Chains A and B, each alone.
Chain A
Amino acid sequence: MNIPDDLLYTKEHEWVLIEGNKGKVGISDFAQSQLGDVTYVEVPEVGREVKQSEGLATIDSVKAASDIYAPMSGKVTEVNGSLESAPEAVNKSPYAEGWIAVIEIKDESEKNNLMDSKKYAEYVKTLGDHE
């Protein structure tokens, strides 16, 4: 299971890469492996304000449609439009080509609600057959 060190993670398996006041968001390798083949990604509108833990995007896979939650509050400044024609990027490259959106971070202290890679790796291990 690939869990890069430079990212922060949510319990819902989103990651965020914080650079300055911007946060790039996607889903973890674990999340994509659980979802199975991704068939469609509904990205948010640029300019939308989201709150931490609020629905940000929707991912359809062969198994289910799943909500993707905003790891931090802020305004969506950029979305990954290439996912429309190539949703499989979420499976193939969850941490690079499969990114979903960039958020202008409103409150950096919210990162205290997130897990670092070590904590997230431990968290994933505790997940049994309940997801």
Chain B
Amino acid sequence: MRLIFEKSVKGRKGIKLPDSDVPRAADLDSKYLRKEPALLPEVSELDLVRHFTRLSRMNYSVDTNYYPLGSCTMKYNPKFTEDVARLPGFTELHPLMPQIGSASSLVQGALEVLYGLEQILAEITGMKEVTTEPLAGAHGELTGVMLIAAYHKSKGNKKKYVIVPDSSHGTNPASAAIAGYELISIPTADDGCMDMEVYKSKLTDEVAAVMLTCPNTLGIFNTKIQEVADLAHQVDALMYYDGANLNGMIGKCRPGDIGFDVAHLNLHKTFSTPHGGGGPGAGPVGVNNKLAEFLPVPKVVKKKDGTFALDENKPRSIGRIAPFYGNYGVILKAYAYTLLLGKDGLIKVGEGAVLNANYCLARLKGVYSLPYDRICMHEFVLSASKQLKHGVHALDIAKFLMDKGIHPPTVYFPLIVKEAMMVEPTETESKETLDLFIKIMLEAAGLAESDPEALKSAPAEMPVSRLDEAKAARELNCSYTC
């Protein structure tokens, strides 16, 4: 595959600029001028269109193929939410309008969307209040831990540590550390959940919070969650719910009802807004009574006359965490999605996600090792340890799947499973698609025994062959040079 620079032909042009009709400004001081002309590809418009159209057709997405990337909830995002987010009544608003006295009457609908989604998410999580401002899941986490810190500060608590299990998403310890806490990591017991004995031994009154993903990254629901929460509350440690895996229990179980004090949600996962090129995401945070007064400003409020306004007057708030009101388009899509599905639809989301995961698990277990052998929730983690005996790694199987038109599962995460392959089918896939995936996974396991080279040399059908990941990381170079 040639780069656009390699298609360049000296003197070829794709644009014709009109003569300037404004007076020429004085030349810039030479110190601001570059010494050599910029390296730009010289191509015709047609060359350019073909190049990028070709690239776009190589693009892999949920809209083109199956994408069981564990922990990421790569479900199909229905297109109607895009239509809603493009309504001019929303896109043509100026973000300062709610703050300009009389203009706020012109943005009542937009404010109602924020308020409405907050109400829905509070209902789903069993929390008292929600902020939709955080701009991504990790931003929601940091906001949540900052709320916890504000709570302890207000009570004069001397807290130093945050507890996370060793199966946690890497963002959990990162958020806690950025908020100023030291980390205590708890190992995973044989049942796939946090080791209760170690947990009890580490839980002192210096612990500020316990951060848990539920179901956890092994796809397992911790049945001792109530006990974990009760013990934490005895030392006034708060329970943090990482909502990355809410898709596995939505509509069946509410974090607020099982002892969590604060929860973040990833709208781009459970609430079906796009995961796209690093963003935009949205990570709303819900809290119970203990933390509500610390939520960020501004807060959308519904006044007695039924109109909506922004409330900046929250003296104990942690302040602003984002410009304006969060990633509005994403919030709007999630609102549309929840309203369309309704309560019954959202319950079916969780049921479908769990059913699909358990179907794949039942068909693949045995051929692949399953280190934590339990009924799973929305995802499960296999190990390629049996295949490793033939020299085949999880990475080789991942590359083979790409040749077959399937996005690989998440590999090498969670870190506690050797040669991990984390599969999250999601509820939006048909049985036919799941069967195709299972067939290809079984084929890979067969090849591991009969022809391991076939896996180790994959991919053969992709635009580029096996990449040297170590070289890419050691000698990162993002700019093209001739």
Q: Give the interface of A toward B (CB within 8 A).
A: 34, 36-40, 60, 62-66, 87-88, 127-131
Contact = CB atoms under 8 A, between A and B. Distances in A.
B473 A63 contact: no
B469 interface: yes
A62 B219 CA distance: 24
15 contacts: A36-B412, A36-B470, A37-B473, A38-B470, A39-B473, A62-B470, A64-B412, A64-B413, A88-B470, A127-B418, A129-B369, A130-B190, A130-B372, A131-B417, A131-B418
Given A39-B473, A130-B371, A34 B418 contact: yes
Given A39-B473, A39-B474, A64-B413, 14 more contacts: A34-B418, A39-B470, A40-B473, A40-B474, A62-B473, A64-B412, A129-B418, A129-B419, A130-B188, A130-B372, A130-B416, A130-B417, A131-B416, A131-B417
B217 interface: no
Contacts of A127: 418
Contacts of A64: 412-413, 415
Interface in B408-426: 412-413, 415-419
Closest 10 CB pairs of A and B: A37-B470, A39-B473, A129-B371, A63-B412, A129-B383, A62-B469, A129-B385, A129-B418, A131-B418, A39-B474
A129 B417 contact: yes
B397 to A, nearest CB: 14
Contacts of B188: 130
Nearest to A64: B415
A110 to B, nearest CB: 20
A29 B9 CA distance: 52
A63 B413 CA distance: 8
Contacts of A60: 473
A130 B370 CA distance: 10
A130 B190 CA distance: 9
A66 B372 CA distance: 22
Q: Which of A62, A63, A66, A129 has the most CB of B within 10 A?
A: A129
B474 A88 contact: yes
A60 B469 CA distance: 12
A3 B268 CA distance: 46
A84 B372 CA distance: 37
A25 B278 CA distance: 38
Contacts of B371: 128-130
A87 B372 CA distance: 33
A87 B417 contact: no
B60 to A, nearest CB: 20
A45 B333 CA distance: 48
B109 interface: no
Contacts of A34: 418
A72 B190 CA distance: 28
A127 B473 CA distance: 29
Interface in B431-482: 469-470, 473-474
